[in-house]
């Protein structure tokens, strides 16, 4: 017991010693911290962080601009809610056990309605006798049987589809009211430059986020490749755009509409924003607005050429390296282009003195020309610039789809080593490879097929694609025939007479 007591006393002594040391250390640290804090505070006060007044004024000024732009434009922005009704036929599926007892019953012809809801945006651009006109996208209202227009002040109106155009992806909706709404100010998209401020407005992802404003810059101009065969050249922006923003405005720093938000490029499921938004330039819509209101549809000017971007070998052979424009690969017989002197193989570089970048821009420019207008076209022919005056006609679906008048009705590309290898041809084999034959065209009628190799045109031997187009232009006149190879056979087509 004495030993236990001694050990216990020793342990108690050590514990007390540790406890006293801990208390002493804590007290010393607290005292040190208390002493040092006023010094640190005093030091901080000696070197305070000051926001420069000049910089703050600039930032606040920019903030005021964004507020003002939002206040100016948002009352003209609307939310478009659509309902599309589709009918689906109910399949005739045998019923059990009723068919077993009473025999099969005919359920054919029974339909079921399917209602699909959609959401988009629009911008008020006109007012005529209490009828407000909203510019939006075709795909926002496509197939809609019901349209509801909601404004920022919480009111809702019944919308009426005035007109819609798939090629430009534009549409117009109207609503009638005695209430007063401001009209959007339309800017000049030709003056937009990369790096400009860009402000997107609309109703992304549903009513919870309606009338949102996002900000970015203009990332690029003249973008092509929109969905659904859209012929516009787009403004690209990194201002966040999501589903539901379609049809809403893209605005500049002055509160002017420079574009209509239309589509996004995204690698996320459901098409989330990744900073790649595209808007139809507002100048592409101005004539369309007038035509929608006056007649409910858009008319297009027609040139009558089939345009393409030439490949590398074709561009080199025609002397087009580094040139901007589009190749008139084929021309419709008796079209404005044909009457005006434009021929297959002409490379269009300017329309009315304006340099063109490619196929879609030419389509836009020509489409916006009025029937009867005379337009100046500059083309490169035989490596020289030549000018033509062409009287534009109205585009009709019938004329544009009349393949029987598409001259010559086939597309050719130069044979290169890659093609020769794929076709198992010797390296010294000449000719032009037929890459496409249009159904119902002259070339189709006289029997040409994809994969044939053109050796001559109207008896003239063809060495390259420049000679092909030159012979078409100068030797074909009112009739056309080809010498060609198909496999190992050398053939000559019958003559086609215009």
> What residues act catalytically?
139, 169, 246
For 165, counting Cβ atoms within 10 Å of its Cβ (0-12 exposed, 13-18 middle, 19+ buried), the class is middle
Secondary structure (3-state) at 292? helix
Are the C-beta atoms of residues 199 and 69 closer than 8 Å to each other?
Answer: yes
Beta bridge partners of 118: 82
Please state, in angstroms and as integers, the Cα–Cα distance from residue 132 to each residue in 78, 82, 296, 373, following that order: 11, 18, 15, 31
Tell me if 409 sits within 8 A of 437, measured CB to CB. yes
Q: Which residue has the tokens 């076209």?
A: 377
How would DSSP label each residue in 69-96?
HHHHHGGGEEEEEEEEEEEEEPP-PPPT
- 164 φ, ψ (degrees, to nearest 5): -150, 145
Q: Which residue carries 């309605």 as its tokens? A: 113
Length of the chain: 498
Identify whether the C-beta of residue 410 lies closer than 8 Å to the C-beta of residue 453.
no
Cα four-point dihedral sign 234, 264, 229, 165: negative
Per the CB < 8 A criterion, the answer to whether 344 and 472 are in contact is yes
Residue with tokens 């007044």: 53
Cα–Cα distance between 307 and 298 in angstroms, integer? 22
291 touches 299 (CB < 8 A): yes
Rounded to 5°, the CA angle 47-52-53 comes to 130
Distances (CA, A) of 52 to 64, 65, 111: 18, 20, 71
d(CA 211, CA 129) in angstroms, rounded, equals 26
CB atoms within 10 A of CB 396: 12
Instruction: Report CA dihedral (310, 312, 313, 315) to the nearest 10 degrees.
Output: 50
In whole angstroms, give the CA distance from residue 258 to residue 277: 14
Sign of the C-alpha dihedral computed for residues 399, 400, 402 and 407 taken in this order: positive
DSSP element (H, E) containing 419: helix 417-422
Residue 421, Cβ density class (10 Å: 0-12 exposed, 13-18 middle, ≥19 buried):
exposed
Distance CA 8, CA 498 (A): 123
């Amino acid at each position: 017991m004495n030993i236990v007591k001694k050990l216990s006393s020793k342990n108690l002594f050590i514990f007390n010693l540790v406890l006293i040391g801990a208390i002493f250390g804590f007290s010393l640290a607290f005292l040190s911290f208390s002493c040092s804090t006023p010094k640190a505070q005093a030091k901080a006060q000696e070197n305070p962080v000051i926001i420069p007044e000049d910089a703050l004024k600039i930032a606040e000024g920019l903030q005021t601009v964004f507020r003002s732009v939002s206040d100016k434009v948002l009352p003209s922005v609307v939310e478009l809610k659509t309902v599309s009704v589709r009918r689906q036929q109910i399949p005739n599926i045998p019923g059990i056990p009723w068919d077993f007892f009473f025999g099969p019953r005919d359920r054919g012809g029974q339909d079921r309605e399917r209602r699909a809801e959609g959401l988009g945006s629009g911008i008020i651009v006109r007012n005529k006798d209490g009828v407000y006109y909203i510019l939006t996208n075709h795909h926002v209202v496509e197939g809609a049987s019901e349209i509801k227009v909601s404004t920022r002040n919480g009111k809702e109106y019944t919308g009426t589809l005035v007109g819609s155009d798939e090629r430009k992806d534009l549409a117009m909706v109207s609503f009638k009211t005695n209430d007063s709404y401001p009209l959007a100010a339309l800017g000049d998209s030709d003056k937009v430059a990369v790096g400009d401020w860009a402000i997107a407005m609309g109703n992304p992802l549903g009513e919870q986020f309606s009338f949102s404003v996002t900000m970015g810059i203009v990332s690029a101009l003249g973008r092509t490749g929109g969905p659904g065969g859209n012929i516009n050249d787009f403004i690209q922006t990194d201002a966040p755009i999501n589903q539901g923003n379609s049809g809403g405005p893209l605005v500049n720093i002055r509160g002017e509409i420079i574009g209509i938000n239309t589509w996004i490029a995204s690698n996320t499921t459901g098409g989330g924003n990744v900073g790649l938004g595209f808007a139809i330039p507002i100048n592409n819509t101005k004539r369309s607005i007038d035509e929608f209101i006056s007649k409910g549809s858009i008319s297009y000017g027609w040139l009558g050429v089939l345009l393409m971007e030439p490949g590398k070998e074709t561009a080199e052979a025609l002397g087009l390296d580094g040139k901007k424009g589009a190749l008139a690969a084929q021309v419709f017989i008796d079209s404005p282009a044909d009457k005006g002197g434009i021929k297959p193989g002409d490379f269009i570089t300017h329309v009315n003195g304006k340099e063109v970048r490619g196929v879609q821009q030419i389509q836009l420019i020509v489409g916006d020309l009025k029937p009867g207008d005379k337009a100046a076209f500059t083309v490169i022919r035989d490596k020289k610039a030549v000018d033509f005056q062409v009287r534009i006609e109205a585009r009709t679906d019938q004329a544009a789809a009349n393949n029987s008048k598409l001259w010559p009705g086939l597309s050719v590309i130069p044979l290169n080593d890659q093609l020769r290898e794929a076709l198992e041809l010797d390296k010294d084999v000449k000719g032009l490879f037929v890459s496409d034959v249009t159904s119902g065209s002259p070339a189709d009628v006289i029997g040409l097929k994809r994969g044939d190799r053109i050796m001559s045109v109207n008896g003239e031997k063809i060495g390259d694609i420049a000679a092909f187009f030159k012979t078409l232009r100068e030797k074909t006149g009112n009739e056309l025939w080809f010498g060609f190879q198909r496999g190992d056979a050398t053939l000559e087509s019958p003559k086609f007479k215009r």
